[in-house]
Structure formats: structure tokens, C-alpha cells
Amino acid sequence: MDLISLNWDKKIKEEGPLAQRMRPDTLEQFIGQDKILGTGKPLRQMIESDKLASLIFYGPPGTGKTSLARIISVKTRADFVQLNAVTSGVKEVREIINRARDSWSLHDQRTILFIDEIHRFNKAQQDVLLSAIEQGTVIFIGATTENPFFYLNGPLLSRTRLFIFEALQADDIGKLLRRALDDKERGLGKLSLQVDKEALDYLSEKANGDARAALNALETALFTGKEEKGTIHIAIDDAAEALQKRLLSYDRQGDSHYDMASALIKSIRGSNPDAALYWMARMLSGGEDPLFIARRLIISASEDIGNADPHALTLAVSAANAVQMIGLPEGRIPLAQAVTYLASAPKSNAAYLAINEATRLVEDEENRPVPAHLKDSSYRGAKRLGHGEGYLYPHDYPNHYVEQEYLPHSLKGKIFYRPTEQGREKMIRSNLQNIRTKRTGDDN
């Protein structure tokens, strides 16, 4: 490392942002992620024995992915090279791979290539890594905040081990904040500070599991706290002002987009309007397209409610039209009306199951011809072909019903739709039971 780099590194450790200065140097200093880094866990054993495989670190911001990579860089005997996918390209990666090949073959030294924000590399850029990882030319570590199954190539995933980092617990963030207050070399220990417990608790709880956000907010609170006789007093109001507001963990292009949409629909399916409103509010506050939400509600109205309450579909479509006409913020009101109605409505997935079963049969079995009496007889020459011959017009018969077969002969009596006893579907079930009993004796 040259003199400029050494001085720059010293400046960061002494004068950089608090979150940067407080990065852990050892596994013992690392807080959180016990599920993957606890004693005896495979990842910890790999790091301690310096026998690493290629890895993907996936998790929210501020959960320790880059910090763990830095610990590896200190602990390993291999040459450690760090890149950021935002500022690096294929040319730079190829140069590192070539140097790694020479270092391994000539000096028996391995190279660890750490790429932060690996999801920023497109599929073609990711392909450059495949051969080097497979041959062992480099030991690759990639860090990403985005779901790797959406953003990373299948071949890259198959050559790496995936470790999932979870948002830190409030207790863990509290430990980090107290450590920063006590540390006289890297933290705030040299300053005369009085930080209320309520302020620390607020930062710990409201940082949404992001240690970086909590530490940076603590540092910002130094400027908002009141100085009394040379001591800076940080109260809960100062912490709230520093953090500004609860951080919204939502990326409408990424993982949380799908996770919260899933939570919304599952809350509707589970008949919990309060939870459904909460997830929808999270999505809207995070900048989600309200029409995306409206489309999901339309699907849910048919998939999860169906004929138990046919009005649910009408309301969902109306809400979508209303949002399209008036936009936000007022559009959240018809969306809320639709969400609460759908969540509170009786549930049936009978129609959804029926089309799935019919589709599977169509896809798995041979095509069956349309029975002659059901074929179109409106065009010239149809009668000469026997099309429509023998068809019975139901409206000509009592109760607008007459017994005849509508399925291919080999599927006679096949039942796909099985109405439930929920809501309006109970009446539909009763009507169908009467018809099916007359036809086949089957009252299902």
C-alpha cells in the first residue's frame, strides 16, 4: 500500500463517518447473524480455518455483509481484492482474474475477489466470473441487497454458497450504539456525552435493523443535542430529528416489492383487513404503483373469494378504475375500500382450483373432439356435416334445463367445479347438486 493510500485509510478510521469507523475488525467484534456465524456454523468454520468457498452474502442494508468481507480480508492469507459493481466493469474483473491466475501458479497464493452490490452487474458481466470461479482461479464473494434468484445468473448461483443476512434485532443495534459511545479510539468515547436511554432505544428500534443508519443518526444527533456545561445531552427528540423518521425498507423494483405484495394478498386470504391495510400502506408509502396493487386485488377477488361473494370482483375492478381516474393520494381510499371488503368477505378458491384442474387435464391428455351436437351449426354446409345435430335448446324446457352431455364422451360425468358452503356459493352448490343428482346421481 502506498503512502497516499495509507494516509487515506488512517483518515477514514479517524475522521470518517461513525458507521465506517466502527466496522468490526474480528469475528468476536461482529454482532448479529448468529444463524450463519454462530459457533460451529459452516461459514464461521470456513473463515476461521481460512478455507473459503465462493460465497454470496444476501440481506438488507446495514446488516454486516461488507463488514464480514473486511474481517475476511484481515484474516485470510489470500490476496484480497475488493470492487464495487457500480464503479467497476468487465475489463477490471478480467485483469484481476489474470493476476489471480499468475499469483496462484507462480507464488501459490490464492485471490479472494469481493464484489459489493453484485446485482448491479448484468447477466453478461456476471458470466465473466463463471470460469474463474469454477476453476478456482478466484474465490469469489458477492454481496447484494437484492434477491439473488431474481438478479443473479443460475450458473453463478450454482457455483457459490448463499448465506442470508437478516435485519439486526433492536438489542443488537443497541449494543453497537453503546460500543460506539464507549470506544475512545474509533467511536465517541473521547467526547463528553449524555445520551438518554430513551434516545438509544428509539434509534435501536426505528432503524429497521440497519446498523449503519442507527450509527449515522447517533453521530448526527451530536449536532442537534443541547450542550450543557461542556456536555452534549442527546434526548429522544434529538434522536428522532436525527433519524428524521422510521426508515421505509421498500424497493419497488426489488425483493420487498414481491414480499410485501405477498404479505398483502396472504392477509386478504387470511381474512385480516387490518394486516392487509398495513402492508398496503407500506407499499404505497414506499412509492409502489397503485395500479400494481389494484391488479393484485382483482386477482385475489377471483382466486380467494370467487363465487362466495361475486361482488368482490366488481368492487376490485371498480377500485382499479377509480385509481386510474383520480390517482394518488386520493386513490388510496378506494383501494382501502376494496382491500377491507376483500379481506372481510367469505372465501372460496373453488373456481381457481377448478380452472387449474381443467388446465392440467387439457395439458396432460390428448385432445378430445367437440361432440357433434355442440359444434357450430350456423355456417353453410354445417348441417351436411352433422354439426349441431341433436342439440337440445335448454330454454325450450321447464326450468330452462334439459339433460344432455356437454363434455367429450370419454370425460362424461367429470367434475371440476366444487362449490363450497361459503357465502353465495352455498346457493350455487345447492343448485348444482340438484342438477348433478338428476344427471349422474353425484351430489358433489
Q: What confidence score (pLDDT) does residue 405 get?
A: 86
State yes or no: pLDDT of 88 exceeds 60.
yes
Identify the bridge partners of residue 227 per DSSP, sorted by sequence position.
Answer: 232
State yes or no: pLDDT of 345 exceeds 60.
yes
With cut-offs at 50, 70 and 90, classify the pLDDT of residue 367. Answer: confident
In this predicted model, which residue has the larger pLDDT, 414 or 311? 311
pLDDT in tens, 302-315: 999 999 999 999 99
- Residue 426 gets the label, from left (phi > 0), alpha (psi -120 to 50) or beta, of alpha
State yes or no: pLDDT of 248 exceeds 60.
no
In a domain? residue 302: yes
What is the mean pLDDT of the segment spanning 135-154?
92
Q: Residue 365 CB: number of other CB atoms within 10 A?
A: 10
In a domain? residue 366: no
**Could you tell me if 59 and 154 lie in one domain?**
yes
State the residue range of the domain holding 104. Answer: 33-164
In this predicted model, which residue has the larger pLDDT, 178 or 249? 178
Residue type, 117: E
Q: What confidence score (pLDDT) does residue 5 get?
A: 56
Q: Dihedrals φ, ψ of 179, to 5°?
A: -60, -40
Instruction: Return d(Cα 16, Cα 9) in angstroms, integer.
Output: 9
Q: What confidence score (pLDDT) does residue 383 get?
A: 79
**Could you tell me if 117 and 205 lie in one domain?**
no
**Could you tell me if 123 and 92 lie in one domain?**
yes
What is the mean pLDDT of the segment spanning 214-239?
90
Instruction: Return d(Cα 257, Cα 288) in angstroms, integer.
Output: 8
State yes or no: pLDDT of 160 exceeds 60.
yes
**Could you tell me if 50 and 158 lie in one domain?**
yes
Instruction: Return d(Cα 84, Cα 102) in angstroms, integer.
Output: 23
Burial class (CB in 10 A: 0-12, 13-18, 19+), 24: middle
State yes or no: pLDDT of 366 exceeds 80.
no
State yes or no: pLDDT of 206 exceeds 60.
yes
Helix (H) or strand (E) holding 42: helix 42-49
Which residue is associated with the grid cell 434522536? Answer: 239
**Could you tell me if 110 and 39 lie in one domain?**
yes
With cut-offs at 50, 70 and 90, classify the pLDDT of residue 45. Answer: very high
What is the mean pLDDT of the segment spanning 33-60?
93
Domain's final residue, options 344, 377, 399: 344
What is the mean pLDDT of the segment spanning 215-243?
90
Question: Tell me, what CATH number does 141's domain have?
Answer: 3.40.50.300
In a domain? residue 28: no
In a domain? residue 291: yes
Question: Tell me, what CATH number does 185's domain have?
Answer: 1.10.8.60
In a domain? residue 314: yes
State yes or no: pLDDT of 96 exceeds 90.
yes
In this predicted model, which residue has the larger pLDDT, 376 or 196? 196
**Could you tell me if 324 and 274 lie in one domain?**
yes
State yes or no: pLDDT of 426 exceeds 80.
yes
Q: What confidence score (pLDDT) does residue 159 get?
A: 94
58-71 as b/e: b if 16+ CB within 10 A: bbbbbbbbbbbbbb
Q: β-strand 231-234 against 226-228: which pairing, if any?
A: antiparallel
Instruction: Return d(Cα 349, Cα 225) in angstroms, integer.
Output: 57
What is the mean pLDDT of the segment spanning 391-407?
87
Q: How many structural domains are present in the chain? A: 3
In this predicted model, which residue has the larger pLDDT, 14 or 189? 189
What is the mean pLDDT of the segment spanning 317-346?
93
Instruction: Tell me what percent of the chain is helix, strand and coil, each rounded to the nearest 5.
Output: 55, 10, 35
In a domain? residue 389: no
Instruction: Return d(Cα 2, Cα 16) in angstroms, integer.
Output: 20
Percent with pLDDT over 70 in the chain:
93
**Could you tell me if 80 and 123 lie in one domain?**
yes
Q: What confidence score (pLDDT) does residue 254 get?
A: 61
Q: What confidence score (pLDDT) does residue 11 get?
A: 64
Domain's final residue, options 344, 367, 393: 344
Q: In this structure, what C-alpha cell is assigned to residue 328?
A: 394518488
Domain's final residue, options 133, 164, 195: 164
Angle at 34 between CA 215 and CA 141, to 5 degrees: 80
pLDDT in tens, 250-291: 555 666 778 889 999 999 999 999 999 999 999 898 888 899
Helix (H) or strand (E) holding 43: helix 42-49
Instruction: Return d(Cα 405, Cα 55) in angstroms, integer.
Output: 60
**Could you tell me if 151 and 38 lie in one domain?**
yes
Instruction: Return d(Cα 379, Cα 382) in angstroms, integer.
Output: 6
State yes or no: pLDDT of 114 exceeds 70.
yes
**Could you tell me if 300 and 331 lie in one domain?**
yes
Q: Are 401 and 409 in contact (CB under 8 A)?
A: no
In a domain? residue 320: yes
**Could you tell me if 289 and 262 lie in one domain?**
yes
In a domain? residue 272: yes
Q: What confidence score (pLDDT) does residue 13 get?
A: 64
How many helices (H) and strands (E) the chain has is answered by 20, 8
Q: Are 72 and 80 in contact (CB under 8 A)?
A: yes
Q: What confidence score (pLDDT) does residue 384 get?
A: 78
Q: In this structure, what C-alpha cell is assigned to residue 57?
A: 452474502
Q: Are 288 and 254 in contact (CB under 8 A)?
A: no
With cut-offs at 50, 70 and 90, classify the pLDDT of residue 401. Answer: confident
**Could you tell me if 228 and 338 lie in one domain?**
no
Average pLDDT, the chain: 88
Q: What confidence score (pLDDT) does residue 3 get?
A: 57
**Could you tell me if 149 and 42 lie in one domain?**
yes
